[in-house]
Amino acid sequence: MRNAEVADLLVEFADLLEARDVEYKPNAYRRAAENVRDHPRAVEDMAAEGEDAVAEIDQVGDAIASKIVEYVETGEIEELEELRTELPVDMAALTRVEGVGPKTVATLYEELGITTLDELEEAAEEGRIREISGFGAKTEENIRENVAFAREAGERQRLGHARPLADDVLAFVRDVDAVGRAEVAGSIRRWKDTIGDVDVLVASEDGPTVVDAFTDWPRADDVIEAGEQKASVRANGVRIDLRVVVPAEFGAALQYFTGSKDHNLRVRNLAIDEGLKMNEYGIFDISDVEDPDADQRAGERLGGATEAEMYEPLGLPVFAPEIRRDTGEVQAALDGELPDLLEREDVRGDLHTHTEWSDGGYTIEEMVAAAAECGYDYHCVTDHAAGPGVFGDAGLSDDDVREQAEAVERVREEADIAVFHGVEANIDADGDVTTSDDLLAELDIVIASPHAALDQGEATDRLVRAVEHPHVDVLGHPTGRLINQRAGLDVDFERLAEAATDAGTAIEVNANPARLDASGDGVRAAVDAGAPIAIDTDAHSPSEFEYVRYGVHTARRGWAEPADVVNTRDADGLRSFLDG
């Protein structure tokens, strides 16, 4: 049983509770689900040790732990089965449609008997949804437009879900005696925000032995296919393709299977111009070959053991996988203008984090200590200010923030690193920042993020207003998207980046793997305009500091160099940015 299976069940539980208007509990189930999904241990094994073991997982309380144990032991959760009987729908698929939440699903079922995505699409096309009171033609149109997005979202995994599995399988195959080099390839090596499947490439003279070991990987739930040099398994809901090649052709295969297809096409065309042929077996001079297509290895072999051997005959460097996107990287290389990309070690602190004062799970002291543990020079405490889109009592009032300032001051006196205090304020539908200017003026740092009206479509003006606000230092998760779940705002990043440059406001790369917002394309616009960038984890617990790598690699997809990124500065450098 996969952790993903248990996590999906908890999400469904949350949705069914929400459909019945239950408060608070749904969010607890959702948070638990995400921590179960990516927990390094199999939750099944933990369940065998009892409820207490399961409750060790971050955000999993006793009640949820007991439901998980019930599922592992009996194959079902009684309470969930009852909820399903009352609302027998494909909740996961339906709620993937933008603008369709669990309560809408309940209404659609009660009014029209809709249970699946196909039925929803049909009802929208036949104009039956607008007939429901409170829905209207605009809602129906939205649903019709968003069904395709929802279908696609079901087929791709978030990077943050697939990447830890990829790391694990890579470590596992590297330990196999018959394996020489091993690397991931494909979209996972390019750190794309969603992943179709994980590609693993191994250099070995003994394919069958490697395939045997791979299909015995303990985390593999089932073997999809297994041949002499290739195999595919499924693990925690992710398909993993393994390919074994001889060492002399490893670089060629790695270059080929890393992609992207468009990057490879661009490079291959350069090769053709030079009378060369490159493919997954190597790079060849085919000027004396009559029929080069007859044999994939025909011609004079120029290289293929390493990626460098593949690119070098073309006068090209080994491109960082993140920028192999055919967005000008080949021309930049020929012009000697490739960026010197940001690295994780360049990041010296986090600008956006939460504590138990709002919806985080840990104290100010604990979060500061964890930041120091990461080797950071400073830490920023930015809990939610009350405002539109901040649920329940998670948002702090002005008085709360002032009280927290005193608490931060006490921690600051004992801390080994610099501590900055601020808030994550809210941008309303019109672009106003809803916290009072008086309070914002007292704080070291102000993040402003959209949390409400995330389905309004085009929102560039709204965000431009926010970055131009005199007290705002960082625009948090600009589009508000949730990968595979919510498309978020439509933003013209070129225009936003210009405004951010003029105002001296940083555009955030929110490194939470559900967000990766701004994405690589947004970062690229910021870099081109010269706008400052902030890489933030938005950590709600110490373990989430680890997300920084997703932020760094996303920024690299947008060609970010250390100088583009505010939090590569030391504490004094950050202070001068915030004061500027």
Contacts with ligand DGT by CB under 6 A lie at: 186-187, 192, 195-197, 199, 256-257, 259-261, 264
Choice between 279 and 510, CB closer to ligand DGT: 279
Nearest to 453 by CA among 429, 425, 476: 429
Min separation Cβ 499 and Zn ion, Å: 22
Choice between 200 and 445, CB closer to Zn ion: 445
Nearest to 496 by CA among 532, 445, 536: 532
Choice between 150 and 195, CB closer to ligand DGT: 195
- Residue number of the CB atom closest to ligand DGT: 259
Choice between 222 and 399, CB closer to Ca ion: 222
CA–CA distance, 41 with 489 (Å, rounded to integer): 36
Q: Which does 259 bind (CB under 5 to 8 A by kind): Zn ion, ligand DGT, Ca ion, none?
A: ligand DGT
The residue whose two tokens read 């100010």 is: 364
Strand, helix or coil for residue 132: coil
* 359 contacts Zn ion (rule: CB under 5 A): no
CA–CA distance, 568 with 561 (Å, rounded to integer): 10
Q: Where does this chain bind Ca ion (CB under 5 A)?
A: 186-187, 197, 199, 241
Choice between 196 and 208, CB closer to ligand DGT: 196
Min separation Cβ 263 and ligand DGT, Å: 8
User: Out of 18, 183, 307, 424, which residue is the one contacting Zn ion (CB under 5 A)?
Assistant: 424
Q: Which residues pair with 199 in a beta bridge?
A: 185, 241
**Binders of Zn ion among 531-550, rule CB under 5 A?**
538
The residue whose two tokens read 């947008």 is: 558
Q: Which does 538 bind (CB under 5 to 8 A by kind): Ca ion, ligand DGT, Zn ion, none?
A: Zn ion
The residue whose two tokens read 């949730």 is: 482
Min separation Cβ 163 and Zn ion, Å: 22
Q: Which does 15 bind (CB under 5 to 8 A by kind): ligand DGT, Zn ion, Ca ion, none?
A: none
For the sheet with 238-245, list strands across it.
Answer: 182-185, 198-203, 238-245, 230-235, 222-226
- Other CB atoms within 10 A of residue 99 CB: 15
- Residue number of the CB atom closest to Ca ion: 186
Q: Which does 257 bind (CB under 5 to 8 A by kind): Zn ion, ligand DGT, Ca ion, none?
A: ligand DGT
Q: Cβ distance 316 to 333 under 8 Å?
A: yes
Choice between 184 and 526, CB closer to ligand DGT: 184
- Per-residue tokens: 560: 């970010």
The residue whose two tokens read 């955000």 is: 59
Q: Cβ distance 179 to 202 under 8 Å?
A: yes
Q: Which does 261 bind (CB under 5 to 8 A by kind): Zn ion, ligand DGT, Ca ion, none?
A: ligand DGT
Min separation Cβ 497 and Zn ion, Å: 21
Residues written for the chain: 580
DSSP structure class, residue 193: S
Please state whether the peptide bond connecting residue 148 to the residue before it is cis, i.e. omega within 30 degrees of 0.
no
Choice between 215 and 260, CB closer to ligand DGT: 260
Strand, helix or coil for residue 181: coil
Q: Which stretch binds Zn ion (CB under 5 A): 18-26, 372-380, 419-427, 562-570?
A: 419-427
Residues that bind Zn ion (CB under 5 A): 424, 538
